Structure 1
Amino acid sequence: MPKTEGAATLAAVLAEARRRLAAGDMDDPALEARMIVEHFTGTARKDAIATPERSVSAGEIANIDDAVNRRLAGEPVHRIFGWREFYGLRLKLSPDTLEPRPDTETLVDAVLPFVRETVRREGHCRVLDLGTGTGAIGLAIAAQVPEVIVTATDISAGSLATATGNAARLGLAARFIPRVSDWFSAVDGKFHAIVSNPPYIEAGAIAGLQLEVRLHDPVRALDGGADGLDAYRAIAAGAPEHLDENAIIAVEVGEGQGRDVALIFSEAGFRMASAHRDLAGTERALVFGG
């Protein structure tokens, strides 16, 4: 960061952060520099345009400098901030959770029409969010539809603590039931919808993932076994006894996995109801019915 006797300007600090990130080979140094500077100065994009000479304090510069160093070492921007926005919700992150990504919003979009129709018909909707992580999927659905009650499971107590905290901060705790469970092991009752973004990376491919993912996302939330499909087999096998009549299962899938995942659910007695692509055109969410 610029070394000055007093405070530096917003424009100068932004330019220096961008220069350092560009030198570090970041994919989009301009965007990441802006995100970091805005976060630690409490400014917005319009401020850099309207008041580029705005002073940035020594404390703010120190925080920005530390964040740039962490980013250059491979830590994702939102891990540095400690939160990420998902479906309009600000979710706290922790070392126990995946960082929710925009692709997963495709899964929420895929199930909301069914959830709303269930509420119209029955007055409520019970959703089981398997492997909840930050709570992203279940909380997004609950935030959109007030009649939804979410049971959220995770094998990690740390993940559940993070998700429960997110539910409380969003005012959704009364409709968010956390449960430590290895898939269905501690789940009781039946649900109108089961949703999951399970681990789906092939175990042998994890070492080749981007540094940001490999070092900062929990391996347990990435590792889908030798072929990346272990979690889908567990979900397909355990789901029938927990599904209400006319219920659905919706899962996120990795690129190119759609056909294999569809076969797993077909062999377990489910029919494919719909497939949904993310904004990049990749098949991302599959919905199954009984």
Structure 2
Amino acid sequence: MSQPEHDSARSGRDAADSVETLFRKTARRFRAAGITTAELDARVLTCAASGFSLETLIGAPERRVGARQVARLEDFAARRLRGEPVSRILGVREFHGLAFSLNAATLDPRPDTETLVEAALEVAAERGSADAPLRILDLGTGSGCIIVSLLHALPHARGVACDLDPRAVAAARQNALTHGVAGRLQVYCGNWADALDTRFDLVVSNPPYVARNDLAALAPEVALFDPRLALDGAEDGLACYREIAPQLPGLLRPGAWALFEA
């Protein structure tokens, strides 16, 4: 008689610790907290914490999750319930089809910025070759998402990127290495193009452009977790554009383009 009781107890633990059960519990907590992306966030965090793929969550939902993985998911869920974005919790964000590592000094890449990449690719479409590589400059690179995405899509292009924060420079270098473009990208720490005496075919930038008085009104996921240095555009939000604009004549080759997010 003892064996069935043991099996029953084990079955109960299996149900409690199955990856599907944990996902559903997490999603319920997120919905109760008013998180609009509750299901998606719970799915991503459950997979990341458990080590199981989305395919396993869907196709083998009965798979058990170990105690360490359960504790990891609890930590992830608690952070999400405090407003921390999933990308910050996991330290990675997908952008233009590539996964970019983040740190405290890098802006969380936004889908809107992919529009800047697409515009730059249109400009670059008929430029550059193996004999005359397209030269691209990224001012205020952050994670490197813009320049790395461009170099990944343009195999004959070469790039230079700068950022004022050395931690962002480190992140951009790592992302360039991850995506196989490090050999074509120089990343340095500096204030815009102050240290450059080279001209480029294309200059791109997503500088800080939030007016200082508007910072407090930003969504908590932005205001609390994105670096202020990457957001604060001074009193009217245009300070960085005014700093960069006078440098452009010395940076652009004849026929070159400068593209900015605003």
TM-score by length of 2: 0.91
Name the residue aligned to 2:27.
18
Unaligned runs of 5+ in 1: 254-290
Q: Does 1:188 align with 2:197?
A: yes
Residues 206 and 260, structure 2, Cα contact 8 Å, conserved in 1: yes
Matches within 5 A, 1:37-186: 37-120=46-129, 123-186=132-195
Larger radius of gyration: 2
Residues 135 and 157, structure 2, Cα contact 8 Å, conserved in 1: yes
Q: SS of 1:239's equivalent?
A: helix
Q: Which amino acid aligns with 1:125?
A: L
Structure 2: how far apart are the matches of 1:209 and 1:113?
32
- Per residue, is there more strand in 1 or in 2? 1
Distance 1:127 1:172, change over 3 A: same
1:94 Cα shift? 0.4
CA displacement, residues 221-243 of structure 1 (integer Å, 9 cap, x when unaligned):
00111111111222222111110
Structure 2: how far apart are the matches of 1:64 and 1:27?
19
CA displacement, residues 6-57 of structure 1 (integer Å, 9 cap, x when unaligned):
9611221011101111122212111111111122223344433322212111
Structure 2: how far apart are the matches of 1:59 and 1:213?
30
Structure 1: how far apart are the matches of 2:104 and 2:137?
23
Residues 97 and 133, structure 1, Cα contact 8 Å, conserved in 2: yes
The 4+ residue runs of structure 1 with deviation greater than 4 A are 3-7
Unaligned runs of 5+ in 2: 1-11
Residues 7 and 58, structure 1, Cα contact 8 Å, conserved in 2: no
Structure 1: how far apart are the matches of 2:228 and 2:59?
44
Name the residue aligned to 2:4.
none
Q: Which amino acid aligns with 1:68?
A: A
Q: Which amino acid aligns with 1:84?
A: R
Residues 15 and 21, structure 2, Cα contact 8 Å, conserved in 1: no
Name the residue aligned to 2:222.
213
Distance 1:84 1:57, change over 3 A: same
Name the residue aligned to 1:276.
none
Structure 2: how far apart are the matches of 1:195 and 1:100?
15
Structure 1: how far apart are the matches of 2:79 and 2:247?
41
- Identity across the alignment (%): 39
Structure 2: how far apart are the matches of 1:121 and 1:31?
42
Name the residue aligned to 2:42.
33
Residue of 200, 205, 209 corresponding to 2:209? 200
Distance 1:7 1:25, change over 3 A: closer
Q: SS of 1:85's equivalent?
A: strand
CA displacement, residues 183-227 of structure 1 (integer Å, 9 cap, x when unaligned):
121122100000001101111111111111111111010011111
1:179 Cα shift? 1.6
TM-score by length of 1: 0.82
